[in-house]
Amino acid sequence: MRSCVSLIFAIDLLAGCVFGQASTSTRTATQATPVSRPIEAKAIDLKAPDLKPIDLKPDATGVVPPEQIRDLLRRAEEKDLENEKRLRDYTYIEREELHKLNGRGGEPGEAKKIESRTWEILDIYGEPVARLTAKDDKTLPAGEAKKEDDKIQKIIDKRKNESENDRRKRLEKEEKGREEDRKFVLEIADAFNFRLLGSEALNGRDAWVLEGEPRPGYEPKSRDARMLSKFKGRIWIDKTDAQWVKLDITAIDTISFGLVLARIHKGTHILFEQIRVNDEVWLPKQVEIHLDARVALFKAYDEDINLIFRDYRKFRTDTKVTVVGEENRE
């Protein structure tokens, strides 16, 4: 999972779907199998500073000043960095269900094909790794399962034999990516006009509800920020943790990617929710995507994609995993 506050992860999901890659950034390009026992790693100091909750105060028109939004987003980004580190202590299940919808000539919204895949995901030497365990809710045949085992062994061997120089370069590249994400996140405060709609209880916790629309005439500072003007939506942020909890965005214009002229069309929609696990970390709960896109002149996508993340288990200790608003799992 990349460090992200909202649009980063959402746009990654959309781009991944268009280019036929994994539909979440937690899944590696090479699907793999977890080892029979957890890989040990050095302990990480995740003690966060004791910060006071942020109190949003809109102006007379109901618009929240950019300075307040920037402070809130900065705090949320810090929380995401903590979440990214704590996720390394967890295994979990991810299930993707794909509804390929009828295009022209069919009933709007009618699925002509439904398929699903299920992965078990954990962290191997600091790298998120996914093991494909089922297709259409049926366990993989022995031959396919063995291929998954072979793939993870390659990852283990690669990381085990990694030189200090290669490791340093890899970590520097990761940190550079995080820094770019931070700049992107803070630019959201300037790229949108945010209006405070009020508060709402989600999973027993109070959250701010903000509605954002592109700010007219805004000139983006970074290349990635150019696409911000193509979205509008709402974001829910936990009042106590300053952690984004829910995101509901819609494309209001066509978005183009890369040299292959991949396009995400107006009306593409994504709903993304997170949940507090073990009273220590916020992790994905579910994602719902309606994708309307095209790659060059060859491939059109009219799909509904549903991702469910469940069974978070802390694998380095015997801690029982509990989820706010749900029954305890062993």
Torsions phi, psi for 111 (to 5 deg): -80, 125
Per-residue pLDDT at 32 exceeds 50: no
3-state helix, strand, coil in the chain (%, to 5): 25, 35, 35
Instruction: Please give the average per-residue pLDDT across 216-225, as a whole number.
Output: 83
Residue ranges in the chain assigned as alpha helix (H): 7-18, 66-86, 142-160, 164-191
**Averaged confidence pLDDT in the chain:** 76
β-strand partners of 111: 101
Token pair for 253? 């214009």
Per-residue pLDDT at 28 exceeds 70: no
pLDDT of residue 190: 82
DSSP state at residue 259 = T
Token pair for 282? 């916020």
pLDDT of residue 309: 94
Q: What percent of the chain has pLDDT over 70?
A: 74
Token pair for 11? 């746009």
Per-residue pLDDT at 318 exceeds 50: no
pLDDT of residue 112: 74
Check residues 302 and 182 and name the one with the higher pLDDT.
Answer: 302
pLDDT of residue 27: 47
30-39, 43-52, 77-86, 162-171: which range is least confident on average?
A: 30-39
> Under DSSP, is residue 53 helix (H, G, I), strand (E, B) or coil?
coil
Token pair for 325? 């608003």
Burial class (CB within 10 angstroms; exposed 0-12, middle 13-18, buried 19+) of 302 = buried
